[in-house]
Amino acid sequence: MIRLCGVTKRFEGATVLDDVSLTVPTGATLGLVGQGGAGKSLVLKLVCGLLRPDAGQVFVDDDEVSALDETALMPVRDRIGMIFQNYALFDYLTVGENIAFPLRQRRAASADEITARVTKRLAQVHLPGIEDRLPAELSGGMKKRVCLARATIHDPPILLCDDPTAGLDPVTTNRIFALLKAMQVERAATAVIVSHDVPSLLPLCDRLAVLDRGRRVFEGTCAEAEASADPLVRAFLHPEVTP
Amino acid sequence: MRGLAARLGGRFLDIADVVGELALFTAAVARAGVRLRGDGRETWRTLHAVGVRSLPIIVVTAWFAGAIAVLQVGEYVVKYRAYEVMGWGFGYSVFREVGPLLVGLMFSGRVGAHNTAELGTMTVTEQVDALRVLAIDPIEYLVMPRLVAMTVMMTLLNVVGDVFALIGGMVTADVLIGVDPYVFWNSFIEYVKLEDFLNGLAKAFSFGVAVGLVSCGFGLSVRGGAPGVGRAVNACVVASAVGIFVLDYFITHLLR
């Protein structure tokens, strides 16, 4: 379970998150939407402890992430996989080495087993046989799928996706969401997915939260979101009818 | 007047901020060092990148440094016919001072700047954050291997530099000044002591630690995208050079 309780975060005097509370039950997927600068990516960074809130608490299962130091955060992060908005692939490592990285560092399996798992995971994300290529040789959509493979290779029970389809064409977007859906069905991880593409996001989510200028304006099930009268929620759910 | 005081005060606070950040970073690295944590694979990769690729530039620099040192003193050697002290004078100055200082400055310019740029780029492209999310300590995975590699290679490159400076000096003394290599070598062997060589080695070791800490510290604290990386590289080169001269002074003073 992931919980944010009254979280506030400021940067140089500007309040970027203002008293935000969110809950993602174990095994559920939360879609997090909002306009640019609403604080969505910040929520993910707070959950994995990359940043600390100025007020409030962040919990991952029973661990209060916001109160842990870097060393104490390691076991929590062991349970998290994250897809970064700007890929964050290690550009000096090949695709295969990138994906194998979490396993190698944890010494979680033998070299042969790691190779087999990398090959299998690359096939799952429809990128077979590109182990020896460097990230710089890949397109944006391919990089996102490699990110997905790296984030999930160690089967973390929590998955954080920061705009996994940003800047991608509709075909690749659909492919990425289909992959996420398939992985969620297979692994039943607790997930938070940030995206602007709400129509594509909804089929993946159990719950939806909408942020606006640092404040949470909606949190509930997808059905409750559909029934919401909030103009911003309606604008995200039905962009085609929004003036 | 108040404006000037405010500017000076602001500048002082900026410097204090950088020094404080570097001190905290050094403490974190020391903690990782005490725990003997580091990544072996990354250390080998960095040893190769730092050492082998720096070799040609160090060889060329050392050769010409040796040649220049001989040219500078050549006129007086001929004037006073002091051929038999040339090897000593040359070896003493190169081993103790010119060698480690020149290799250190070349090393900071090439390896230190490259290291800051690499870590800075990793920072602004969230690769360092990705490491942290994967439960990997960037100090153990990125900094320790680089620090070890830079310290080891700076020390070894100093030895290589000493050898090539010696050869460059001997050849130049023979060709341009007419000092027989046998006389040069005898003077060198006779008067240059092991402690002269070890003195330079101690300096090279400490320069390697300094360049490693400064370049990693500036690289991991980059803020502000590509311009921030540029500023960090610039700051690293300046801080490393200053650090090398300051360390040189204190080590010279201590090991007199």
How many CA atoms within 13 Å lie on the side-chain side of B116?
Answer: 30
| Encoded tokens for A34 | 């909002």
Low-confidence ranges of chain B (pLDDT < 50): none
How many CA atoms within 13 Å lie on the side-chain side of A124?
Answer: 20
The candidate with the shortest Cα–Cα distance to A179, out of A209, A210, A146, A211, is A146
Cα separations in angstroms, B59 against A73, B53, B66, B103, B244: 46, 11, 11, 9, 20
Find chain A residues with C-beta within 8 A of B143's C-beta.
none
pLDDT of residue A174: 82
Which is higher by pLDDT, A2 or A203?
A2
- Residues 214-243 on A with a CB inside 8 Å of B are none
pLDDT of residue B24: 87
Q: What is the pLDDT of residues A224-234, one digit of tens each?
A: 888 888 888 88
Averaged pLDDT score across all residues of chain A: 88
Q: What is the distance in angstroms between the Cα of A33 and the nearest Cα belonging to chain B?
A: 22
Element (H, E) at B148: helix B144-172
Residues 6+ apart with CB under 8 A from A185: none
Q: What is the pLDDT of residues A172-201, one digit of tens each?
A: 788 888 888 887 777 778 999 998 888 888
Q: Is the pLDDT of residue A242 over 60?
A: no
Q: What is the pLDDT of residues B43-95, one digit of tens each?
A: 888 888 888 888 999 999 899 988 988 888 888 888 888 888 888 888 888 88
Nearest to A48 among B122, B133, B137 (CB): B133
Mean per-residue pLDDT, A209-219: 90
What are the extents of the domains in chain B? 39-254
A90 contacts B130? CB cut-off 8 A = yes
Q: Tell me the pLDDT band of A240, cut-offs 50, 70 and 90.
A: low
Are the C-beta atoms of residues B165 and B64 closer than 8 Å to each other?
no
What is d(CA A219, CA A139) in angstroms, rounded to the nearest whole number?
35
Question: For chain A, which domains are there?
Answer: 1-79+159-164+190-243 (3.40.50.300)
Residue of B nearest to A105 (CA): B136
